[in-house]
Amino acid sequence: MSKVLIAPATLSDVGGPYLEALRGAGLEVVFSPFPAQMVEEELLPTLNGITASLAGSEPYTRRVLDANPQLRVIARAGVGYDAVDLAAAAEHGIAVTITPGTNQDAVAEHTFTLMLALVKNLITQHAGTVAGRWPRQANLPLRGRALGIAGLGRIGKAVAVRGAAFGMTLLAYEPYPDAAFVRQYRVTLVPLERLLAESDFLSLHLPLTAESKHLINRATLARMKPTAFLINTARGGLVCEADLYEALRTGRLAGAGLDVFEQEPPGASPLFGLDNVVVTPHAAGVDLQSRDDMALSAAQAIVSLLRGDWPTEKVVNPEVRAKFRC
């Protein structure tokens, strides 16, 4: 019987349709023994004997894949796959899949959670109130402000819909835009330089690639308004954290809301000592509904692949099809 690892800690001992799909296909389910996201040294032995992994953001490095040649499928419960060494996966004939259309609304809601926490001074007002003070103040609005969206894919679109509801002006940088959506929501498409210069809130929704790594750095931060806020619910590597820290510390940027980091977990970061930063632990894409939807979609991809079907819309490395063994 083939074994499937359920790697995300958020699915630890959680039942539901995804488990029914896996067990109904005759697969043995094994949960991660660790209470948090696995690091490389934990993932290495956990994959021993595993045929398919229903994966979170744990690192599927070349070292991990070389040590587990029996692995056939890595099915990400999410849409990012930068934690997987695709070149190594291709060499081993491992199919890598994602779950498109399952978590964009969760990420968009979380994006506005961070945005509102910053402009309404939620953290400091809460702390002051429970400490016995009454720190009332006039806070910033969202309405009428320019929301810049870097990447107008599924998640960027979901953010734009909510920005329109808040009465924000919508700007977007997107090389391959959906023209109908842009017209419907009155999005102004702009080059990246203009997006940086004109956004009151810059929200990142781009994949992490060699080209996009450290897209936000000292030079690009210098083009932004000093009154602007940066929101990152995409990938930590899009931002050079050292440069962001300096911009925030010196007042070059008003604030930042971060759900993702260059290293995860980030450990002790100087960003955590700043009052104009709000952080969460790479949780934007996972609410109860999206968790279940992503898990089911990933489970269905595993079942399809192991029975010899090819879920084209989910596979991100189609070149492995010729050498894939179910």
Active site residues: 235, 264, 282
Q: Nearest-CA neighbor of 163 among 181, 187, 183?
A: 187
Sign for the CA dihedral angle at 89, 91, 93, 95 comes to: positive
Q: How many CA atoms lie within 13 A of 138 on its CB side?
A: 0
The kind and range of the H/E element at 149 are strand 146-150
SS3 state of residue 180: helix
Residue 236 has what DSSP assignment? G
CA distances from 82 to 125, 208, 212, 234 (A): 37, 7, 12, 11
C-beta separation of 67 from 38 below 8 A: no
325 burial via Cβ count (<10 Å: 0-12, 13-18, 19+): exposed
C-beta separation of 50 from 178 below 8 A: no
CA distances from 143 to 47, 106, 140 (A): 49, 21, 9
Task: Determine the residue type at 64.
Answer: V
What distance in Å separates the CA atoms of residue 130 and residue 134, rounded to the nearest whole number?
9
